[in-house]
A and B are shown apart, each in its own frame.
Chain A
Amino acid sequence: MSDAPNDSEPYGAVVVTENVTKKWGQTTALAGVSVQFPKGITGLLGENGAGKTTLIGALLGLHRVDEGTIHVLGKDPWTLGPEVRAILGYSPEHDALPPDQRAFDFVRHMAEVHGIPKRSAISRASDVLFLTGLGEERFRPIGTMSTGQKQMVKLAQAIVHDPKLLLLDEPTNGLDPVQRDGMLNLILQIGKELGMDVIVSSHLIAEVEKICDSVVILDSGRRAGGGLLRDLTAPQDELLLEVTGPADSLARTLRKSRLKVRVADGRLLVGLDGDRTYDVIRDALASSSKHGLVRLVRKGASLEDVFLSAGEAES
């Protein structure tokens, strides 16, 4: 059995990936992705084709990665797939419901498939359908339901067994603005009140910004950025500096130029001291052969700024 690396514990990470690479034929879906998903609600942000669904498949133990390691709740999902999936919930992006089954029957069945005994499965199926606003509709065939109701059934089957970690792939796809708000509020409730850790894959920045505690940004199969949302967007006079090479040595160089620098999670947070801050950083990087600039963003930016600057850094 594989255990999570010890260094994941201080961050309370529910998912840790190290240098994960996955190719589909000639196409590289994930290229050396090293990320940590902390507890709480985390957004997995990226454009279509960024590798989000492939990463979710790997977290579920359905895709064997070509390189690297993955730990989900401290376990390797590829070698311990059924054990890991028993405590995960998953709602896919695409339509994945049997049209001729009643919502209640299907959700109860999925609870049993996840190991919940029959009697508990029956009561929990009813309860979760009431939670998702389908209490009165629970005995209707799923095929007769609206898109919004189907999304709620998908969410219901994903949480009916009280998973420790919930993976939601584009949960607001096809919803109108009112339904979207309802879904986001429900995800927030699941994360905050029911205490499930949630990873929400989305390409919509506003959604992630509204409900997530932290974010991981993927771009063309690479980690393009991420962190706690409050760090990324809080109005602070700090620059977030991400570099290749040892962060500590660069921090020492910058401190010699009387800048306030702290290192967190391999990144540098540099106190903004007028325009000279940028000049000092530029000169330090230019004179160093060990460091390359990955990302430089002023903290306090919106998530959209962070996302765009992450994309620019990658390109």
Chain B
Amino acid sequence: MSTGEARIVRQGFRGYNGPRRGPRSAITSLFFNTMQRTLGARRSVWAKLLPILTIAIAFLPAVVIVGIIALFPIGVEEIVPAFDEYYGLVGISLLIFSALVSPEVLCPDRRSGVISLYLSSPLTPVTYLTGKALGVFAVTGLITLVPPLLLLFGVSMQGAGPDGFGNFMLTVSRMLAAGIILSVYYGLISLAISSLTDRKAFASAGMIMLLLATQISVGILINGLEMPEWLSLFDIFSVPFILVQRIFDSPREYAEVSAWLYAVAALVWAGAAAGVLYLRYRRTGLSR
């Protein structure tokens, strides 16, 4: 029953005297906004389609394999791929995401001019890129980290995982390292290419051309013309995957080349991508 007391529940727009968070809040907000936009949240059905498809491609094999071995626990070893082999499946998803979804992160901000509003906030070009990059890493991390871990936990529950707790933890740490390397590497390269144009289609085409052109060229040079294997360090698409093979201690390609060289090559390519990003944004101001 009403007490009859009047109470103001809405006072309209007024001044604000509450707490104000610093630039870290700006980065956090941009991080979540980037993740939402990348995943198509609060956007049209079409905007959601590609991210969902990409993530499904990465998750589906792990879910199917875990489902099969849960229902039919016989012959688990024949069904379950080696853990590092699973990254081949992740690679397809990662390529689609990097080429078709990642450009959504930077291109529209420049095309629509929103970048000038961001840079008139507490964000600087560096913190803007930090928030955006962290958002991309988080979503690519969803692709590169979760499905392999799901597979590992699934097969381990069926007694077909690594022997002993120590080996289990070693595999987990290898998966964490592999997932972080792949997500950061591909995230940075896709952002760098996106920074060169404000059209998503051009960024997508550029990404696919860069990755496939270097992979095909290096493949022809090494396998067709029998040139030295160290040329594989210029295969921008494959370098992080070869590094992941080495992390899992199972070199399948270019065994002559040291794992450290692949680590350095991955660092150099990722560093170059970060450099391109910085150079493209350091002088960004109000003008479009």
Contact = CB atoms under 8 A, between A and B. Distances in A.
Contact of B15 (A57, A83, A105, A194): A194
Contacts of A95: 112-113
Nearest to B125: A62
Nearest to A142: B112
B123 interface: yes
A50 interface: no
Contacts of A120: 16, 18
Given A94-B113, A110-B117, A53 B286 contact: yes
B132 to A, nearest CB: 12
Nearest to B11: A127
B120 A90 contact: yes
Interface string B2-26: 0000000010111110111111011
A270 B118 CA distance: 48
A98 interface: yes
A113 B113 contact: no
Contacts of A167: 120
Interface string B21-42: 1110110111001000000001
Given A94-B113, A113-B30, A86 B15 contact: no
B271 interface: no
B22 to A, nearest CB: 6
Contacts of B42: 101-102, 105
A82 B120 contact: no
B252 interface: no
Classify chain A's interface size.
Answer: 35 or more
B210 to A, nearest CB: 27
A98 B26 contact: no
B26 A128 contact: no
Contacts of A85: 120-122
A237 interface: no
Interface string A112-124: 1111110010001
A299 interface: no
Contacts of B228: none
Contacts of A92: 113, 116-117, 120, 286
A162 interface: yes
Contacts of A215: none
Contacts of B64: none
Contact of A114 (B14, B18, B114, B121): B121
Nearest to A86: B122
Interface of A: 53, 56-57, 60, 62-63, 81-83, 85-86, 88, 90, 92, 94-102, 105, 109-110, 112-117, 120, 124, 127-128, 130-131, 157, 159, 161-162, 167, 194-195
Given A60-B119, A105-B42, 16 more contacts: A53-B287, A56-B286, A57-B285, A62-B285, A81-B124, A82-B124, A92-B120, A98-B108, A100-B108, A110-B117, A114-B20, A114-B122, A117-B18, A127-B14, A167-B120, A194-B15
21 contacts: A60-B119, A82-B122, A82-B124, A92-B113, A92-B116, A92-B286, A96-B113, A96-B114, A97-B114, A100-B47, A100-B108, A114-B122, A115-B25, A117-B19, A117-B25, A120-B18, A127-B13, A127-B14, A128-B13, A157-B117, A162-B15
